[in-house]
Every structure is written in C-alpha cells, then in structure tokens.
Amino acid sequence: MGAKLQVRLTDALNAQTVKAKVTATSWEQAVEVAGMVLVQANLVEPRYIDAMKKTLRKLGPYSVIAPGIAMPHARPEDGVIQTGFSLVTLVNPVTFGNAENDPVDILLAFSASDKERHITALKEISVFLSNDGLMRKVRTANSNDQLLDVIRDFERINN
C-alpha cells in the first residue's frame, strides 16, 4: 500500500507555488527564491529559508537528488507552518557542488509539518520527478501556467 499525500499535487503545486524561468546566479539565490514561494504561500516562516541554506552548507549538496533537480528543505521545527511544495525552474542552471547531478535547473522545495508527512511527501514527489517525459516538459515550460499543465498531466497519468 503506497502512502499518499494529504492533498493532491495539483492542490500543493498551484498558481501560488510554482515559478517558471527564474533568474538566479547561485544555489543560495535559487534556494531563496524557492523558499520565498513557500513563505508567500504561508507554508513556512521566513526563517525556514535560512535553515534550508544552513542545512545545505552543513550537509553538502545532498538535496541534489537527480541530474538537474534539487529538493531543498529543512526540519519541521525550523519554521514549517504546514506541509507544502514550491516548484521553481531556472533560466540558467546553478551549481550546488554535486559532481554527479550538477548543474541544477529545477528546485522542488518542500516543507513537512512532521516526519511522517516528510516521508509521504518524498514518496509522492519522487514518482513525479522520476517521470523523464514530465521533467522534460517542466524544463521547457516558459510560464507558470505551462508548469501547472505539466502537473495536471501527472495527475491524469497517476489517478
């Protein structure tokens, strides 16, 4: 029995939580943008952004989970208000320091309100990220609406 998110991806990744073709010149800037999307959606407190960057500095680029894809996050006690995601694509990829999977052009930041939701969120999102066809569409989406169309495609495929 696979665990499911409490909400569908089309609820979690919506007009408030996606940003296509953002300009960032460093991994720090990219994480800040992805984090600000979470803040503006009232999913995390602003201090969560610093916690994500601090975690990356401390543990290294562990959040770069596949070629070109990073999933920055921090612990629930670092300012999570509720479980959620932000999806940000970059105009130009940035280097996180992960020799195998750099450079990164897709960030899927997430906040989880507890460890159970953290694991559930990772399982659900890994299905989305492992679909090469959808990732190609994410990379070529030039607008937030086009990103949302890709997410809707994922929902149709998996429901």
* Residue positions annotated with a catalytic role: 73
Alpha-carbon distance values, 105 to 92, 121, 126, 144, 145 (Å)? 7, 21, 17, 15, 18
* Closest of 61, 73, 140 to residue 103, by C-alpha: 61
